[in-house]
Structure 1
Amino acid sequence: MSYDHPPAPRPAGTDQDRTWATLAHLGGILAYAFIGWVPALVIWLVHRERGGQAAEQARVALNFQLTLLVGLVAARIVDALPYIGFVGWIAGIALGIISLVLSILAAVAVNKGGTYRYPFALELVR
């Protein structure tokens, strides 16, 4: 008689952590509307006490989105200047595209169970 043991249960919250971490990064798609930091902030505030992947990846996404927010504000200020305003306009569009691409790359990496570090981000939230 053979006794087959059921597979060991997966740690609680692993799938949920991965889902919340993915959503924190996908919130960056809203960056061009200056609110890309809101989803990451909310997820980080909810999960930071529990720790885990969701809290860490939300913190990483929040730092990146705040960095982009600084860049977007600077681009809008330059956009208002006469003669060189087009530079701010182009910078704003470039930052929006960068946010879109990197947020999707981060979400895919985290959804596969990995982690993601953005190529540039100020470490504002620790």
Structure 2
Amino acid sequence: MEIINQSTLRTNNQLLVITHLTQLLNYVFGFGGLVVPLILWLSSKDSVEGMNDHGKSIVNLQLSMLLYIFLSIPAIFLLGLGLLTLIGVGILGFVMPIVNAVKAGNGEAPSYFMTIRFIS
């Protein structure tokens, strides 16, 4: 007897949009922008079409933003360059999830600006 594994991926653009928008929890509560998308990605990456790519992009963005924030704190003492970096990371972290949520709603692939590929 041969068992055939037929994994059927369902298309759920609303879940992809919600996953992108949960990154904004950092601006509402101060935390959760990495944990909630990570939980959504890990729990549904095998059942939702495109969730694996979107989840990897979200986690890479959040880790990149954390790295940029940690590097910009000592750079504040170097002529205030760290303040510009913090402002840029804040704007980038607010705008890019919204842009990619719209892309996910339209069925397009995510594209995050200036992210480091920690997870490929």
TM norm structure 2: 0.75
Matching residue of 2:21: 26
> Which of 52, 55, 80 matches 1:55?
52
Q: CA deviation at 1:12?
A: 7.2
Matching residue of 2:4: none
> Which of 86, 89, 105 matches 2:83?
89
Q: Which moved more, 1:31-40 or 1:93-102?
A: 31-40
Which structure has the larger Rg? Answer: 1
Q: Structure 1, unaligned stretches of length 5 or more? A: 1-10
Q: Secondary structure at the match of 1:67?
A: helix
CA RMSD across the alignment: 2.4
Q: Structure 2, unaligned stretches of length 5 or more? A: 1-7
Partners of 1:91 and 1:34 lie apart in 2 by: 20
Superposed CA deviations along residues 69-113 of structure 1, whole A, max 9, x for unmatched, are: 11011122323x3xx363212211210101111111000111122
Matching residue of 1:106: 100
The sequence identity of aligned pairs, in percent, is: 23
Partners of 1:109 and 1:19 lie apart in 2 by: 11
